[in-house]
Structure 1
Amino acid sequence: MKKILSCLLLFPALFSASSQSAMLAVEAGVMDWQSKASDYFGEAKDNNPFVKVKGFTANEYGDLYGHVTFEDPDDNAMYGTEINLIGQINLGDSDWNLYGQVFDKSKPKWGETNTLLGISWDKDIDDYYLQVALAGHYVDATYQAFDKDFEGGFNGGYFYVMLSKNLNVFDQNFKLSWWQEHYFARDDEYLIMAGDGKDFGFNGQFSVNWSFTENLSLNLSYRYAENNLGKQGYQDAIFYSVQYKL
């Protein structure tokens, strides 16, 4: 809970006077995991509600994104949280940046804090936005049944790619986006503990956002993973949500 409160207190800082652009929103919906996930995880990945608070800011020095997600808030046995902070520091006038990410996932019987440090490149091209990042991966994990032989530390490499496009159809504003993150050269003890099984794994998401008013939008996403998110092999889901910009 302290980690959640600390992250939420950061969001007002996203709207500092020096910000050239900023956004703060609340999103709520359902994660509808398909059979390859629900047959393996049971209630942990079935039809799971979530509530997310997220924010973004950018200025001449770089940008910062953050979100706090509450998963299964109606079920104490399945309740979990996800905290993600991603920052880029611009390297001069180039499109290159110093890149950092802290991702924390907590569930009743396990938890992970992942720290990613490296370099990124991003660029706006007309209505498109493209970003790639390469980083080292450090992990601190606690899995109640498997944590005796794993002390955390360096856990291989990380590569990320993201592409989005804004478009207007019949005077309606839409945003299409796709991102995918890849993990490689991971620790063998971690792979057994986390359930990913194989050294190389990835996960990603295709999304369509329809802003039907200035503040309200609907989101439809296809979420997928291979040797990642706790399972060897493929798993996928469809996320439905509504978002309100504050």
Structure 2
Amino acid sequence: MKSLALAGAAALSISAPASAEYLYGFGSASVNYLDWSNKAEDLSNGFKEDFLFLELEGGAGFSWGEMYGFIDLENPGSIGNGDKDGKPDGFRLAAKGTIGLNTGVNNLQVYGQLYTLNESGSQGNTFQVQNYVGGLRYNVFTESGFWFKPFLGAHIESNNFAGTGYNGLMAGWVLGYDFNVGNQKLSVSNWHETEFLREDQFRQGGALDSVGHNGAVALWWHLPAKFTLGLQYRYYDHKLGDAGYGDALIYTVKYNF
């Protein structure tokens, strides 16, 4: 599949610097259930359906910078089968990889991001999309447990309906805060992306605004024996094919390696 080849190429491109000094790393496997709100389901004319997904996630830091990635298996029980009713209940494979290369200027990094999605459709049809972002990121860390990583970059999009081309700019961030309540370890996190100056080519004939938002806010409860429970509020506006605001809740059970 095209997206797997692209993901493989991205992994190979970072394998050489990965041999530099290792500083830290993390990894996890999780079971997740995404429950769309009634508003999101209505906005999509019933096209969006709740789904289960399995996720492998990991990241590492080196003397040259850092990298992060995940792979999601959505509707894993439908592997090998397309959806039966024209709705997205067939198997989907989603993956994302990011890399930050230190510039030597304070905490500024050269930043790259790749997101890819393959969806098995009805009657053997598939939907494929890739989003590439290249630009700069700045890392902020504090002794209080709060960290913040904003980025800005050019956006290239490719999908098998709209073609491939420049699609404006993307700005966003990931952030987190670790804290305790009594003897319980918790954290909050947020990832967010705003696309702006989007081209008509990727706006479904102008149905979507030139600005779109996408993200999630999460609360994590870190249990003994390397387990974590999570509740995520997933949100989007003029993204994911819908001309409006939609949201969902994601329930997560995670095992940390």
Alignment TM-score > 0.5, same fold: yes
Of Structure 1 and Structure 2, the greater strand share is in 1
Partner of 1:141: 159
Aligned residues: 238
Task: Report the Cα offset of residue 223 of structure 1.
Answer: 0.3
Partner of 1:112: 129
d(CA) in 1 for partners of 2:160, 2:170: 21
Instruction: Say if 2:245 is the partner of 1:242.
Output: no
- Bigger shift: residues 106-115 or 153-162: 106-115
How do 1:99-178 and structure 2 match up within 5 A?
99-108=111-120, 109-126=126-143, 127-143=145-161, 150-178=162-190
How do 1:2-21 and structure 2 match up within 5 A?
3-4=3-4, 18-21=21-24
**Could you report, residue by residue, the CA deviation over 1:150-194 in whole angstroms, capped at 9, with x for unpaired residues?**
43111100000232100111211111012211001111021016x
Structure 1 stretches of 4+ with a deviation exceeding 3 A read 1-11, 13-17, 40-44
Alignment root-mean-square deviation, CA: 2.5
How do 1:1-246 and structure 2 match up within 5 A?
3-4=3-4, 18-41=21-44, 45-75=48-78, 76=81, 77=83, 78-108=90-120, 109-126=126-143, 127-143=145-161, 150-192=162-204, 197-246=208-257
Say which SS state the counterpart of residue 74 (structure 1) adopts.
helix
Say which SS state the counterpart of residue 45 (structure 1) adopts.
coil
Q: Percent identity?
A: 25
TM-score (ref. length: structure 2) = 0.85
Q: Answer whether contact 2:3 2:130 (CA < 8 A) is retained.
A: no
Q: Answer whether contact 1:172 1:210 (CA < 8 A) is retained.
A: yes
**Could you report, residue by residue, the CA deviation over 1:76-97 in whole angstroms, capped at 9, with x for unpaired residues?**
3221111100010011151110
Unaligned 5+ segments in structure 1 are 144-149
Partner of 2:123: none
TM-score (ref. length: structure 1) = 0.88
Q: Kindly tell me: are residues 22 and 16 of structure 1, through their superposed partners in 2, closer, same or farther at Cα, counting changes over 3 Å?
A: farther
- Bigger shift: residues 204-213 or 69-78: 69-78
Q: Kindly tell me: are residues 234 and 80 of structure 1, through their superposed partners in 2, closer, same or farther at Cα, counting changes over 3 Å?
A: same
d(CA) in 2 for partners of 1:214, 1:50: 23
Q: Answer whether contact 1:70 1:79 (CA < 8 A) is retained.
A: yes
Unaligned 5+ segments in structure 2 are 84-89, 121-125
